[in-house]
């Protein structure tokens, strides 16, 4: 077993506190409405984003509210999901440290994947009791959010039978991995926008040797403003899940 190295950024702790204050204010203000608040966490470490997710999870559970949506980018990290195989990690822990990449076990579904700057990560902490407790439909709708984002930018994408995530031709552009507890969803999806694809050379992403990673930037041959992608993601959530965003 590889020893997990955690790269601690003390500045994130103050950032987490500030985010939680904002989350408390917005949830309290809107808990009697049918809207779902969203929060842009910017660039944040994986562990601190997970701390915020679990805080929101508790608010959703205790208050029985619909949930919240987090949009963010992670500092470089490789996460190992519940079905992860360490032989899909192609380099040593020392090599990861030299590259400034964390290695973290996650309770989401799936295998190994990479998150980093230029990749949009979306964590919808959603109470599925309000949506029929239908996990299959929830994942399908998450994938549809991604497909519709890409279509808006002129990229035709697809699902592949028996695989999770979204593909463009024979390359993967987005991953989906979730965890359900008490019918509340944690984790979500990542979409490669302008991420440095060289990071993926450290792993067999999602355990799929036959599918390389691609990005919106690579396909369109230009950098994509990630805030435009975030805005489109929120519009798609509102349309597909049929709730207002606040």
Q: Please tell me which residue in 56, 72, 206, 216 is annotated as part of the active site.
A: 206
Strand pairing partners for 39?
A: 70
| 206 classed as catalytic | yes
Q: Which residues are catalytic?
A: 206
């Amino acid at each position: 077993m590889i020893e997990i190295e955690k790269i601690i950024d003390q500045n994130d702790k103050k950032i987490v506190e500030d985010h939680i204050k904002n989350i408390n204010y917005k949830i309290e203000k809107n808990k009697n409405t049918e809207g779902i608040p969203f929060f842009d966490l910017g660039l944040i470490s994986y562990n601190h984003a997970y701390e915020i997710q679990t805080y929101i999870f508790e608010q959703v559970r205790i208050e029985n509210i619909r949930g919240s949506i987090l949009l963010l980018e992670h500092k470089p990290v490789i996460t190992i999901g519940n079905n992860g195989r360490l032989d899909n990690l192609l380099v040593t822990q020392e090599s990861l440290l030299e590259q400034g990449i964390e290695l973290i076990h996650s309770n989401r579904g799936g295998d190994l994947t990479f998150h980093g700057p230029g990749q949009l990560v979306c964590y919808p902490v959603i109470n599925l009791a309000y949506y029929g407790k239908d996990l299959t439909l929830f994942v399908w709708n998450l994938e549809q959010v991604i497909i519709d984002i890409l279509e808006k930018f002129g990229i035709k994408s697809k699902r592949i039978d028996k695989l999770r995530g979204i593909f463009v031709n024979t390359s993967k552009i987005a991953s989906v991995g979730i965890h359900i507890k008490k019918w509340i969803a944690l984790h979500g999806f990542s979409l490669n926008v302008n991420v440095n694809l060289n990071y993926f050379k450290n792993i067999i992403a999602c355990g799929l040797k036959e599918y390389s990673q691609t990005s919106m930037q690579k396909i369109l041959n230009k950098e994509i403003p990630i805030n435009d992608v975030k805005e489109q993601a929120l519009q798609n959530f509102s349309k597909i899940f049929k709730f207002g965003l606040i």
